[in-house]
Structure formats: structure tokens, C-alpha cells
Amino acid sequence: METATNTAPLEARFNELMATKPKTRIRNAAMELGVSEVELLVLRIGDGVTRLRPEFRALMAEIPKMGRVMALSRNDDAVHERKGEYLNPSLTGQHVGLFVGADIDLRIFWGPWNSAFAVIEEGKDGPRRSIQFFAKDGEAVHKVYLLPESNVTAFEGLIAEYKNDDQSKTQAVKPWPAEPSEKPDAEIDANGFQAEWKAMKDTHDFYGMTRKYGVSRTQSLRLAPEGFTTKLKNNAMREMATAASKSGLPIMVFIGNKGMIQIHTGPVKNLLDVPEWFNVIDPDFNMHVREGAITESWVVRKPSEDGMVTALECFDAKGTLVVQFFGKRKPGIPELPEWAALLADLETKLKLA
């Protein structure tokens, strides 16, 4: 059932919170007030926020006109920020869209997308402009922030072209249905599942396999063929990133949510700890992961036509993927042996009994 928040009490509560905690980010304010981020954002419509028509493919097709920008995608426990240009779009697919550039690399899943806004906020260095997209549950799917060198005229043109007739200060949201309970391992055709895993030719077939056999993501790793998965201690992400930073090994960092996966390919250099968060702070790429939210870490191997593809996958207590890492690779090119060796070393040092 969709609900629309009663505006006046929420606006008063939001203003009171910001008066007492003026540095609170809108996502954290929403959590504190027990609402979604979009329900707070729409309170500012007419004051720097403009609702856009929900023509998502057309809106995303406009983003390249803005030139170099910063793309941001996140989930509850990980944030991925990447500067660059939106290049090589493929947006007409019914279910999936793509941008495939060396810098901005996105896999878009249109189904959850529900609303879009242009946002202008006052910052210490002047106006901060962005286009923000939200899912049906009111949480952010993807945000595009302009940089000093971005094309502001293109941003303003997008607002003029796609401004929604509806500029009300309420937004209906619909929580996601509860995930189905995991089946007992004994009810799974483990032999069939393992045989298909070993016969994989394309790693993208994995999701279909889990659906076919009715296994959850972490359950699939428990039931994998011997030697294809290894459960590690939960400092594996930190150890991997530290080793990659020291060696300069280029890696791939996947962070996403129901409507988006955002990918960084390249080295990670500057690692930084702040309370709760493990961070990569590089000029064009920032990663922030709430390290304490990771409750399972796995090395995962999947066969492909290019040889074995190895990943480090980190999950939260609900079995949701927080962040996923690969060695730099492209279709038709085998996995970097240095990456395979790094994860093999982690297995030796961090394997759980």
C-alpha cells in the first residue's frame, strides 16, 4: 500500500532536527525521523528542488550533455562516487540500461525507479547542483552531481524541458515486500546446482541459476562446488584493498542497490579510516564502506569462456551484497594473475574454519 506523509508535522520535525543538528545529512535525517529520503527532499520543492517528469530513459540520455560530473550510487552500508563523463549509453532496453565508459560505468535496472528531481543546494563554495533519482520505497537509486567544470546550461535546460506539472510537497512511497524465507539446505538440489555452476560459460548466468534452484545469495556460496568458494574473516576487504593499494593492482569495485550497480575500474591508492567507515579517497574515485555491517566475506570463483573469474563478496546480516570486488578485466580477456594470487593469499591467511 502506498502512503504519502502528512507534510506539516514532518516539516516541523525536520526543521527542528536541522536546527539542533545542522550538519545532519538528509539520508541520516530521514532515518532519524522514520521516513524515506525522498519524503524529506520534497519538502524543499520550490526552494532549490524541482520535481521532474519520471521519464527516466530520456533524463539519463541528457546527462552526457553536462560533461564531467560525479556519479553517486549507494546502499545502506556502502557508497560509490566516481567522477567522469557519461559515455556510450544504451538506455532503450525494457529492463536494463547501460553507460559503459572508462570512468562512469553503470548497470541500470529500471523497474524500481519512481521519481526524479533537480536539486540546488547552497554550499560553502557556492551552489551545488544535482539530478537525483529515487526508487518506489523513497530511497535514492542514483545521483549526478555537477562539478565546477560541468555544463550548467545543460543542467538548466534539463530542468526547463522536464519540469513536472506536479510540484507538490508530498511523495507517495511503497515499501519493498519482505524477502522470502531461505529454504532449508536439504530442500535444494545441491548436486544439480553444483553441476550447473561448474558448467558456467558466462558469470552473468549466475543470478538465473540462483533463481532456478531457489537459493539465496549466501546460501548459494555455502552450497557451491568444493573449491569454488571460501569464507573469510571480515577484515578481508581491508586486507585486499591495502594489498592492492601498495602494489598498484587495478581492481573493479561494484556497489549498488535494487535499481543501479556502479563500477570503478582502476587502482585504489589513498585509504582512510573514519569512525565506522573504511574509505578510498582518490581524486576521481571515493568508496565508503561501513565495515562493521559486513557479517560474511567470501572468495567466489565462477567459470567463464575466458577462464576462472574470482571475486571478493561482502554481505550484511540480511544476506544482502554490500560490495563486490574483481580484478580489472573485460570480456575476452582472462583474469589478471596478480588478482587471483592476491585472493589466494587472502584465503591462506583469513580462511574461517
pLDDT tens digit sequence for 196-254: 999 999 998 999 999 999 999 999 999 999 999 999 999 999 999 999 999 999 999 99
Domains along the chain with CATH numbers = 3-86+113-173 (3.40.1570.10), 185-350 (3.40.1570.10)
pLDDT score at 178? 87
Q: Which residues pair with residue 264 across a beta bridge? A: 253
Query: What number is the average pLDDT over the span 143-158?
Result: 98
pLDDT score at 300? 98
How would residue 3 be classed by pLDDT, with cut points 50, 70 and 90?
A: low
Q: Are the C-beta atoms of 276 and 269 separated by less than 8 Å?
A: no
Cα 352 to chain centroid, rounded: 27
Give the contacts of 34 (CB within 8 A, at least 6 positions apart).
none
How would residue 331 be classed by pLDDT, with cut points 50, 70 and 90?
A: confident
Q: Are the C-beta atoms of 57 and 97 separated by less than 8 Å?
A: yes
Cα–Cα distance between 188 and 167 in angstroms, integer? 50
Q: What is the pLDDT of residues 99-117, one digit of tens each?
A: 999 999 999 999 999 999 9
Per-residue b/e over 214-226, b at no fewer than 16 CB within 10 Å? ebbbbbbbebbbe
Q: Are the C-beta atoms of 297 and 313 separated by less than 8 Å?
A: yes
| H or E element that contains 322 | strand 321-327
Q: Are the C-beta atoms of 143 and 131 separated by less than 8 Å?
A: yes
Phi, psi of 336 (to 5 degrees): -65, 125
Give the contacts of 115 (CB within 8 A, at least 6 positions apart).
38, 51, 54, 133, 134, 171
Give the contacts of 4 (CB within 8 A, at least 6 positions apart).
170, 171, 172, 173
pLDDT score at 179? 84
Cα–Cα distance between 267 and 245 in angstroms, integer? 7
Q: Are the C-beta atoms of 128 and 150 separated by less than 8 Å?
A: no
Cα–Cα distance between 211 and 54 in angstroms, integer? 30
- End-to-end Cα separation, the chain, in angstroms: 45
Cα–Cα distance between 351 and 55 in angstroms, integer? 47
Cα–Cα distance between 63 and 53 in angstroms, integer? 15
